[in-house]
């Protein structure tokens, strides 16, 4: 993973995502998911582009099954943007960098 990409776990989810002062993009993924792997470079670019403005992280659903159930993650990749502890955008499937950047920009506004 890129330098700016957070590894989000059940242990740090509350502090890194729910209690974050800035918007947080969370990529729900798994190692066995080919589209998730394809989305990886886009997530890393966003982490770099938004460094200091928003957090960007990846959450492995196989290691965080309770969170996956809590947020209704049924298909991956799913990208959710949290603001103030709530999901403000959720997208299932592959998304372009421009689409995700637009949603992050909206959350930052």
Residues serving a catalytic function are: 33, 36
Nearest to 47 by CA among 15, 28, 24, 30: 24
Task: Quote the CA–CA distance of 21 and 74 in Å, as a whole number.
Answer: 28
Identify whether the C-beta of residue 104 lies closer than 8 Å to the C-beta of residue 23. yes
Q: Is the peptide bond before 77 cis (omega within 30 degrees of 0)?
A: yes
Identify whether the C-beta of residue 53 lies closer than 8 Å to the C-beta of residue 59. no
Identify whether the C-beta of residue 55 lies closer than 8 Å to the C-beta of residue 22. yes
């Amino acid at each position: 993973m890129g330098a700016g990409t957070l590894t989000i776990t059940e242990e740090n989810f509350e502090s890194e995502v729910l209690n974050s002062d800035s918007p947080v993009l969370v990529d729900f993924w798994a190692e066995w998911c080919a589209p998730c792997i394809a989305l990886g470079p886009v997530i890393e670019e966003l982490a770099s582009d938004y460094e200091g403005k928003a957090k960007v992280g990846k959450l492995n659903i196989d290691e965080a099954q309770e969170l996956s159930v809590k947020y209704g993650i049924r298909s991956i990749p799913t990208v959710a943007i949290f603001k103030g502890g709530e999901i403000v955008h959720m997208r299932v499937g592959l998304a372009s960098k421009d689409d995700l950047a637009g949603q992050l920009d909206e959350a930052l506004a």
